[in-house]
């Protein structure tokens, strides 16, 4: 591994690593040769493309050995409990998003008994309910679904911004992942395209995010 790094660095940094008069690596400002700046674990190897990027940026690549990586699982769903807060306004869209979310939960083996669906009047009301559900301690993640479609007034901006910041604050204040699945679209066609049309179903995508975040918290961050 080290010889591979040295070879690549020699190719990318010929003027730094060696000269005809001085074949030894030039010490770095940290007191170590550029060769020793690259370290490898048994499973990590610097790709030539990464080395080339470092060359363009004028710095030597550093790969830390033994770094611990935490990531949620999409397969360890047993025991995970979810709440889905759904806005009824623009119901033709939010029902499609809800269907996509529930189908995804089922596909990834989340039990129906572990899913609670709560319906609220509109997207503006979603965050406060999400916060209350998060603070109840009964759920591992809260999925927030709604659809805000631009009209002739500035009402759209107020609702869209409030929904986004509200869902974020609900997660921060409750300590439970609150997933933003609220569509903010210019027209109905855009919304339909994102509720099962040519752009996919954003409710299904949000459900995947909810599963991964719930798993991350339960299996790694809350131990």
- C-alpha 86/C-alpha 142 separation (Å) is 11
Sign of the dihedral defined by the CA atoms of residues 176, 116, 190, 154, in that order: negative
- C-alpha 24/C-alpha 15 separation (Å) is 11
Sign of the dihedral defined by the CA atoms of residues 65, 71, 74, 80, in that order: positive
Question: Do 62 and 38 form a contact (C-beta atoms < 8 A)?
Answer: yes
- C-alpha 100/C-alpha 86 separation (Å) is 12
- C-alpha 35/C-alpha 28 separation (Å) is 10
Strands (E), the chain: 82-87, 115-120, 141-149, 178-185, 195-197, 200-201
Q: Are strands 115-120 and 178-185 parallel, antiparallel or unpaired?
A: unpaired
Q: What are phi and psi of 100, to 5 degrees?
A: -60, -40
Catalytic residue at 155?
A: yes
Write out the catalytic residue numbers: 155
């Amino acid at each position: 591994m080290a010889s591979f790094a040295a070879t690549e660095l020699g190719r990318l940094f010929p003027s730094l690593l060696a000269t005809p008069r001085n074949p030894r690596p030039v010490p770095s400002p940290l007191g170590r040769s550029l060769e020793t700046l690259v370290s490898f674990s048994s499973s990590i190897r610097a790709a030539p493309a990464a080395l080339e990027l470092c060359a363009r940026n004028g710095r030597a690549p550093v790969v830390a050995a033994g770094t611990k990586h935490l990531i949620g699982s999409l397969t360890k769903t047993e025991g995970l409990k979810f709440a889905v807060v759904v806005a009824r306004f623009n119901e033709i869209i939010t029902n499609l998003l809800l269907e996509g979310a529930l189908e995804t939960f089922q596909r990834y083996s989340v039990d129906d008994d572990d899913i609670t669906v709560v319906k609220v009047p509109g997207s503006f009301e979603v965050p406060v309910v999400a916060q209350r559900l998060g603070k109840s301690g009964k759920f591992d993640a809260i999925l927030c679904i709604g659809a805000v479609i631009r009209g002739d007034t500035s009402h759209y901006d107020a609702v869209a911004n409030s929904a986004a910041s509200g869902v974020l604050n609900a997660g921060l204040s409750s300590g439970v992942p609150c997933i933003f699945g609220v569509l903010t679209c210019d027209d109905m066609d855009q919304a339909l395209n994102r509720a099962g049309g040519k752009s996919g179903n954003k409710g299904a995508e949000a459900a995947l995010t909810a599963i991964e975040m719930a798993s991350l918290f339960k299996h790694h961050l809350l131990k």
